[in-house]
Amino acid sequence: MEGALVARDKVGIQDFVLLDETTETAFMENLKKRFDKDLIYTYIGALVVSVNPYKDLDIYNSNQMDLYMGVNFFELPPHIFALADTVYHAMMLELNNHFILISGESGAGKTEASKKILQYYAACSPETDLLTSVRDKMLMSNPVLEAFGNAKTLKNDNSSRFGKYMDIQFNSEGEALGGHILNYLLEKSRVVHQNHGERNFHIFYQLVEGGEEDLLHQLGLERDCLYYNYLTQGECAIMSSINDKNDWKTVKNALKVIEVSESDRTDLFGVVASVLHLGNVEFDPDSRGNASLDNNTELRWVSTLLGVNAQTLQEGLTYRKIRAQQDQVLSPFNIDHAIYVRDALAKAMYGRTFTWLVRQINESMENKDDTMKMVIGLLDIYGFEVFYVNSFEQFCINYCNEKLQQLFIQLTLKSEQEEYEAEGIEWEAVQFFNNKIICDLVEERHRGIISILDEECLRPGDATDLTFLERLEEKMGDHPHFVTHRLADITTRKTLDRGDFRLLHYAGEVTYCVVGKRDRHTQHTERVRPSQQHTGRERPSHSKYRERERPVQVATQFKSSLLKLTESLLAKDAWYVRCLKSNESKKPGVLDEALVRHQVKYLGLMEHLRVRRAGFAYRRRYEVFLQRYKALCPATWPHWLGLPMDGVQVLVQHLGYMPYEYKMGRTKIFIRHPKTLYATEDAFERCKHELGERKMCCYKAKGELKKRKENGERCHPRRSQARKEVERRDWAVKVIKKFINGFINRGDARSTDNSEYLAFVRQSYLNRLKLKLPQTVLDKTTWLTPPSVCQEASELLRKVYYRLMVRKYVRGISQQKKGQLQMKVVTSAIFKGKKDSYPQSITRSFLDTRIVNGHLVNLHSSQTYSVPVVKYDRKGFKPRPRQILLTTSAAYLVEEAKIKQRVLYTSLKGPLSVSAALFQGDLVFQCDHLFEFLTKLSMLANKQNAFQVVKGSITIEIQSGKQGAVDFTTGPEPLVYKDKNGHLMVVRHPPPHTPYPLKSG
């Protein structure tokens, strides 16, 4: 805090507690001011706020570690090393347990923060052979857990897809004895499905890209990620920013360090390979439409790698076992159900393997010393997030954040109140949002959402996702933080689908989709039992199986483990790191204020600031306060011989503190307003200058006297030289004094006192601006913030510079790119803001043909565009592969080289309605490149304004006088099928490329 007082004019306030106004606007202004100077850490009392800069900063080297070791928390600028050092020394001094809660959304830097803390403890602990071993295992557990538990997402190339709590155990000498890891809610659904632009867990790509040839041959794998269905759904299997080959070497070395045996490593990679093979298992329909597997190579590899009988595995994937008293009946699966069971098996195998791997790491780091030990815990947990579609996993993650927010407020209020009571100062109540009502809504017995979900999953009869929603409405229909489509008012009902419910969390409203929650809530037990090939030792894929009469409920297990975690944390002293993501595009130097403001809200930073202030901005022990400011009072300078408390009382009375501005505790002084402290600090700065000038005068007088004496004893040339030296030093003193006066008066109008200093400021700003000019036309935020004296010139320079960059950019656009941009403008006019998948089309170039293989009809030079489609018959909606060719006058539907149908552009009458991917009419077909096709069609037919986006259901003409319909809905995976009511049902999640009819005349 003392450092914050000195540096406040240069880089904002280093501690938010010292803000004059505890408003969100003041908070954001201070945060941005520091971020623009690459100062990514700021305090709220003892809480560290960290902003991800998306670039490397040289602030984590060994010199920085040495600088922060054993130093007072507020003595140096904010840093995560300062927090780590303070926690370590508090543990050693008080001999109790502590934990550091690291929170924030994906991409905010939580994993990196935990790494830096681990590295600091590895460096600061005493050097012993045991420490070296434990330190290496703790540090090398990170690449292993990242390989098996992290993945590339839209927000982060190395996003943790599980929650992690790690205990670091120390003895009374401060030596690291061991560690223990608890993992929470691994995102197993990622194993079988990834959104566009995302990848599966890193280990799959590392094995395929970096694995040795012998190993791949032994596992039956191809060195091609595109060969495996589970690795290609995000369409970004190969990433230039991720080096899978090097990461594979790191993971293999880390597995050796954490003492995973060679045979276990072989079994571990066998499970990973079996998941890839399982994803490539495809089912064929038999004569009755049921799923069948005949002579499947991938299935044989799975059975070999897992040690499972191939016939047993095949039956488990294609039949359901129904027990009828003493008999078993096999009920065949259809293809959709078989695919679901296959994916469930893959997820269960990977989840058990991850649990086994964490257990192996814990056994490797296990503390072998039974003497007294203390613990520092690191909790790297999921951040509160809101997506377009929020699934069951997101419900559990946000529930976890509710519990941690409740714990956060509870511990913060408790520590603040205890300090006030210990100092004998009256506690002033702080208003805050108590989210216990939301936690009870989720976890209350017999009435909470999780309990109702348990009942619906175990209830016999025809229980569905919608019956679960009806039970929720029945149980908590009058709850102020719960609403559904049926319970909402007219305005809110427009924003809710019939299968959604909405919770008002502490951080805002979140809408959850109930579709698939029952399936994901129930853990399906494996239908296949692997053989035990090693007696007495459990292989990674060989968990101990036992028959269960009832399925295990995932959310109930998660709730129980979360309650145990909070009980454990309540027994420790809490410290916090709040991580903020500066922007969504991962650009260095860019701070998206709207994004950061939202994170500040749901991380509860303003509530923590108000609790921390509690009426007093500054508190410090009497000895520290007196030592810093004693020079301001003649009675306390240079030495105070009485009690520190009495000295502080004399000092504040001399400074003119009013009674309402401060309170005197038993060991500390409490100052209410920052402006009071700033006035004291400003007086201290002026006092330091005066003391410095006095010392300079004394030094000057002594030097002159000494030189005169020397000159008198020497010859005249020496006397002349000495006189010149005296004059040079006099000149130097005047220059330094003038510079100091200019700095003090820098905010005044230009005068003789500050003119040279202001000239120096202008020159310094222009030199720094030259090195930090924006590199792109779209970069509007990195322009160097000017001092007040340069604001007008800076604005003129900025306009001139951006005009120059715009001119260069325009001149550099090729004719081909110009044509692409013109098509993108048409696409934007038709779809922007109306189609959920529209933003994904922006970065893709439009092509003139999408047909690589197959026979094309020859339409000579009039053909301008071609694309493969799936055409659905009007009667029965049977899918048929076709091609569409666009010419300058008409669209042709082609089967191989035969023209099946021609649609003249003049016969297309608007408006043509589009719903999710649908033109209203009598020609129904599916196209994987919707935006490209419709843009080409609209430009060729000159009907850019003829498209109208609608939702819900579209009626089409089947025959004269008869009509059919295409219905749209959402679900856990995209499907297109004919429904029982005769309609064509299109299920999308997330919004896929869906079939659409086109009216031909």
Provide the annotated active-site residues: 106-107, 111, 156, 159-160, 383, 385
Backbone angles phi, psi at 277, to 5 degrees: -65, -40
Q: Is 377 annotated as a binding residue?
A: no
**CA atoms of 467 and 836, how far apart (whole Å):** 28
End-to-end CA distance of the chain: 76
Residues 6 or more apart whose CB falls under 8 angstroms from that of 962 comprise none
Residue 117: HSE in the Cβ half-sphere, 13 Å Cα cutoff: 29
Q: Is 104 annotated as a binding residue?
A: yes
Residues 6 or more apart whose CB falls under 8 angstroms from that of 82 comprise 48, 68, 71, 73, 76
Q: Which residues pair with 508 in a beta bridge?
A: 505
- Per the structure block, which two tokens stand in for 360? 């192996």
Residues 6 or more apart whose CB falls under 8 angstroms from that of 209 comprise 223, 225, 244, 245, 248
Q: Which letter, b or e, does each residue of 895-929 get, where b requires 16 or more Cβ atoms within 10 Å of its Cβ? A: eeeeeeeebebeebeeebbbbbbbbbbbbbbbbeb
CA angle, 98 then 161 then 52, to 5°: 70
Q: Is 307 annotated as a binding residue?
A: no
Beta strands across the sheet bearing 500-505? 482-484, 500-505, 508-513
Burial class (CB in 10 A: 0-12, 13-18, 19+), 601: middle
Nearest one of 21, 11, 10, 8 to 617, comparing CA atoms: 21
Which segments of 649-700 are extended strands (E)? 662-664, 668-671
Nearest one of 29, 41, 50, 146 to 581, comparing CA atoms: 50
Residues 6 or more apart whose CB falls under 8 angstroms from that of 887 comprise 859, 862, 863, 864, 940
Does residue 366 sit in helix, strand or coil?
Answer: coil
- Per the structure block, which two tokens stand in for 286? 């038999």
Q: What is the CA radius of gyration of the chain?
A: 35
**CA atoms of 619 and 1, how far apart (whole Å):** 10
Q: Is 915 annotated as a binding residue?
A: no
Nearest one of 987, 851, 840 to 927, comparing CA atoms: 851
**CA atoms of 902 and 99, how far apart (whole Å):** 71
Q: Is 108 annotated as a binding residue?
A: yes
Residues 6 or more apart whose CB falls under 8 angstroms from that of 496 comprise 483, 484, 485, 488, 502, 511
Q: Is 111 annotated as a binding residue?
A: yes
**CA atoms of 1001 and 995, how far apart (whole Å):** 19
For residue 912, give the amino acid letter. L
CB atoms within 10 A of CB 330: 10
Residues 6 or more apart whose CB falls under 8 angstroms from that of 458 comprise 550, 551
Burial class (CB in 10 A: 0-12, 13-18, 19+), 645: middle
Q: Residue for token digits 């003049």? A: 906
Annotated binding site for ATP: 104-111
